[in-house]
Amino acid sequence: MSREIASERELEICPAFDIRFVMATTPFPIAMPDDLLAEIRATASETHLSQADVIRQSVKAGLPKVREQFKADSGRVTNVDPLPDDVLERIYSRLERDELVGVTAKELTQFQSQEEPG
């Protein structure tokens, strides 16, 4: 039986089959940490749901919260407004104030630490 509604013959073979609960599903294997699997098993036992139903209901109930918490905003990583263009132009147009003017790549690597402070 694929994703079609069961035939009468199939219903006779499986009398517990309730056509109201037929839904299209796609198997989705997932790696589950042992501690979370233990919680799923305990919840299934307490609620008399299958482990699959516990997982489905958990996902369904938790998706709005996950979406809200982790949604991508406007792409900004800060709530500080950027500097106005005229300020940026003033800062970056004065090369004589830049500490690295005239420093070669070789000289720059000499300033870099080869070991992390410990």
The pLDDT of residue 2: 43
For residue 114, being part of any structural domain is answered with: no
The pLDDT of residue 49: 95
The pLDDT of residue 55: 94
For residue 91, being part of any structural domain is answered with: no
For residue 117, being part of any structural domain is answered with: no
For residue 6, being part of any structural domain is answered with: no
Dihedral (CA of 102, 107, 108, 111) sign: negative
Q: What range defines the domain where residue 36 resides?
A: 24-70
The tally of domains found in the chain comes to 1
For residue 35, being part of any structural domain is answered with: yes
pLDDT tens track, the chain, 118 positions: 444 455 544 445 454 555 555 667 888 899 999 999 999 999 999 999 999 999 999 999 999 999 988 887 666 677 788 888 888 888 777 666 566 677 777 776 766 655 655 5
Where helices occur in 1-118 by DSSP H, the ranges are 8-13, 34-47, 51-70, 85-92, 105-111
For residue 63, being part of any structural domain is answered with: yes
For residue 106, being part of any structural domain is answered with: no
Q: What is the pTM of this model?
A: 0.44
For residue 42, being part of any structural domain is answered with: yes
Buried b (16+ CB within 10 A) or exposed e, 53-65: ebbeeeeeeeeee
The first and second tokens of residue 4, run together, are: 């079609």
Q: Nearest 10 degrees: CA dihedral of 23, 25, 31, 36?
A: -10
